[in-house]
Amino acid sequence: MESSAIALILFGVAFTTLLPWEMHQAARRRRQRTARTTGEIIGVEYRSESSHQDNSFSAGTYHPQVAFEAGGRRREFVGADGVSWRQPRIGTAVSIAYDPRDPSNAAVLRDNQDGSEVLERCVIFGCPIVGIAMIALALYWG
């Protein structure tokens, strides 16, 4: 079997299992965030990702550091969703969703989250189809 066929099989397995599993886990964590409250941006974390080996170009994103009250205690977290075009403003009030059984499972609510769930379902169900097609092509060419 050629190395390209082996690579297709490996990518096919990843598309069939790993990517949908990770997305399913993220969706499960999001569904557990049933409690809502208001938090405040208390800081900004900059995450840089170099796009060249010599670090000559760096693209990064700004992630809000957020504080909120849950169960009578102050909780803090860094938002997973960052933006590259502007820094979140410190002191801004934001809507928070969190898991009442595990307040460390928290996220800043966005206005357009309904559309992302539809896209997520398409990816969860579409990736195995693409993965199986990759495996089939590899076996056919192999």
Token output for 4: 């390209």
7 pLDDT band (50/70/90 cuts)?
Answer: confident
Q: Is residue 70 a contact partner of residue 103, using CB atoms and an 8 Å limit? A: yes
118 pLDDT band (50/70/90 cuts)?
Answer: low
Mean pLDDT of 100-104: 92
Q: Any idea which of 95-99, 124-128, 134-138 has the lowest mean pLDDT?
A: 124-128
56 pLDDT band (50/70/90 cuts)?
Answer: low
pLDDT at 50 over 70: no
Residue 117: what pLDDT? Answer: 65
Is the model more confident about 127 or about 94?
94
Confidence (pTM)? 0.62
97 pLDDT band (50/70/90 cuts)?
Answer: very high
60 pLDDT band (50/70/90 cuts)?
Answer: confident
Mean pLDDT of 83-105: 89
